[in-house]
Structure 1
């Protein structure tokens, strides 16, 4: 027996102590059923909190396997168009064309083909200096790799004036020349430069160091209609600039019908539930989600901007003025269906030939 299975059995014993959870024997039986039905293991079982007594068996049997999920994604979203959303420059250009609000673009740095939004070169430290001098001291900018996931390569900095700026997660200022060298090393395919998004006070209160976002998973069900399948809030760890679950952020599923947060958890330990915010101590479970309806509607409308894309996990940030689209994930992490306990077979069915032609 593998060490991993021993670990899951030990966890099952711990969970079974709580009267609200299933017995060890019931958990193990359901692991087997989940694997036989969907080729999903105890990790996915725990991520979906399927060990809870009120989680029904017919929901447990309602998930695609990871391979089947990938097949469904490529049925709903044609492979030919996948890179339109994977590249942040292309994605922002398409969204802006249709008036979908996004964070303000300043330019794209690249040593050979970089340009600012006025079409001027953004390829050297002198070009970066010129761009930064359009800001006032104290204003913030952020840098994103044009193709990256999970917050990899994200940096934010405060412009101090002259040739000085300071990254928000560092103490010592750096020069524009030092910044240029960092961007050249980290962003071989280019680095997006945006004005830093100052989030709404409701969302900044969750954790002020990160932009805390809503992931809205939406699906086009007819030529003129998109529905929302699930929503969850991501809150960054204390001191973190990103809210990603892989970076220690807390996930709070949203009850869409009631518009409130459910208990949160960290992806690494989904069996430890948080009714309160571990950063601030404030009550989270049952808390109304500000701008939820507006965020869902924005996620729905943004899907129409992309050709042959019918399914997306859209990341929405709430600025002081309202919701903005950060990005569309047209192959969203399958874990989202487990987070929100939404069986994927029922909401992401196999497409018929007629549906595929829509």
Structure 2
């Protein structure tokens, strides 16, 4: 801190609910009070807002298997599912046991009936943030044995299974209870254009207005925000937590603006992909209107989960939903120097009776170690300009 004035402002912003990372990433110390209050602290979002707008239906989305079966049943396009691998709880997509290596190989063999290899994704059933996701290619050897290609060499399926983390990452801090196995989406070349090693997905937020069961009016399902995530060369994931970039999208046109790293990877802005050197600005997301329509339909399947961040992949023949996040991060819609709480969004939430943080910072208070007398003298000197 350069001065006591800075220290007091910093404490005031902390009292509003922002943590140290948010203050740095959002550059809040350089902003006036009115602008600071347009940013939504993640603490307030998680402890107040989402607890109000999202009912217990949200737990469907936290289990990747339950979510996929639910979305498939309601006609929402998702990646092709093989099943969940686990030595006790493993099941194929149609409910048959998949708890042994032999059963897993049998499923792979069925998938390889008419092709010589398949590209798959293994992800923890209760995972999040793109962590512990494993990409694998399964192929038929000349001997007709089923092998996993690891470091460009064929290996037994047992080797692949043993290479998976013993206790896969869980967003909820509990054992994930298995690995969801899906066919890897072959993404549209207009998104592979930036980086082909990662599936570069779009986060699209939806919001359902008015509390369910309200006295008057009909709920509306609205687009809320959008962002493209692009991975680095050689990475199989696109998340900011694994070094990827968050690229702003014009929600009206589907056109890209500039990108940005999260704070752990410098927090810097980027006009082009750091590896391919291809510029972001002006690039149109393919099937943009179809992606929006798909997310709005998905939102309607869970009407009491009113605020969801949908992860969308754009395949060669159109969009599909990878997963829905009822606990989406405020980082995504606020990464490009604009607060989430625009006047329009405040009005949207307030018209539904949802809680909103104040439009003013809390009163400044003495720093630890300052007596009431010294604090009063400080304010007097400040007023007198001495």
Instruction: Answer whether TM exceeds 0.5 for this pair.
Output: yes
Deviations, residues 24-55 of structure 1 (Å, cap 9, x unaligned): 9999887566445x332563244335688xx7
Q: CA RMSD in A?
A: 2.9
Q: Distance in 1 between matches of 2:28 and 2:319?
A: 33
The answer for the alignment partner of 1:165 in structure 2 is: 148
Length-normalised TM-score, structure 2? 0.76
- Given candidates 303, 307, 312, the residue that maps to 1:316 is 312
- In structure 2, relative to structure 1, the CA distance for the partners of 1:264 and 1:25 (3 Å cut) is farther
Post-superposition, which runs of at least 4 consecutive aligned residues in structure 1 deviate over 6 A? 24-30, 351-356
- Given candidates 66, 71, 75, the residue that maps to 1:99 is 75
Q: Select between 323-332 and 303-312 the one with higher mean Cα deviation.
A: 303-312
The number of residue pairs the alignment matches comes to 329
Higher relative contact order, structure no. (Cα contacts within 8 Å, ≥ 6 residues apart):
2
**Given the alignment of the two structures, is residue 180 of structure 1 paired with residue 157 of structure 2, yes or no?**
no
Q: Distance in 2 between matches of 1:264 and 1:343?
A: 17
**Given the alignment of the two structures, is residue 90 of structure 1 paired with residue 69 of structure 2, yes or no?**
no
The answer for the alignment partner of 1:48 in structure 2 is: 26
- In structure 2, relative to structure 1, the CA distance for the partners of 1:285 and 1:28 (3 Å cut) is farther
Indicate if the aligned counterparts of 2:41 and 2:330 stay in contact, CA closer than 8 A.
no
Q: How does 1:1-358 map to 2 (within 5 A)?
A: 31=10, 34-36=13-15, 38-41=16-19, 43-48=21-26, 58-70=34-46, 71-78=48-55, 80-134=56-110, 135=112, 136-161=115-140, 162-167=145-150, 170-182=151-163, 185-186=166-167, 189-222=177-210, 223-268=218-263, 269=265, 271-340=267-336, 341-344=338-341, 346=343, 347=345
1:350 offset after TM fit, Å?
Answer: 5.7
Q: Distance in 1 between matches of 2:251 and 2:36?
A: 21
1:220 offset after TM fit, Å?
Answer: 0.6
Deviations, residues 104-134 of structure 1 (Å, cap 9, x unaligned): 0111222123221243321111111111112
Length-normalised TM-score, structure 1? 0.82
The gaps in structure 1 that reach 5 residues or longer are 10-23
1:291 offset after TM fit, Å?
Answer: 2.2
- In structure 2, relative to structure 1, the CA distance for the partners of 1:288 and 1:350 (3 Å cut) is closer
Q: Distance in 1 between matches of 2:196 and 2:126?
A: 26
Q: Distance in 2 between matches of 1:353 and 1:275?
A: 38
Q: Distance in 2 between matches of 1:34 and 1:113?
A: 47
- In structure 2, relative to structure 1, the CA distance for the partners of 1:140 and 1:271 (3 Å cut) is closer
Q: Distance in 2 between matches of 1:166 and 1:152?
A: 21
- In structure 2, relative to structure 1, the CA distance for the partners of 1:118 and 1:95 (3 Å cut) is closer
The gaps in structure 2 that reach 5 residues or longer are 169-175, 211-217, 356-386
Indicate if the aligned counterparts of 1:150 and 1:244 stay in contact, CA closer than 8 A.
yes
Q: Distance in 2 between matches of 1:65 and 1:281?
A: 33
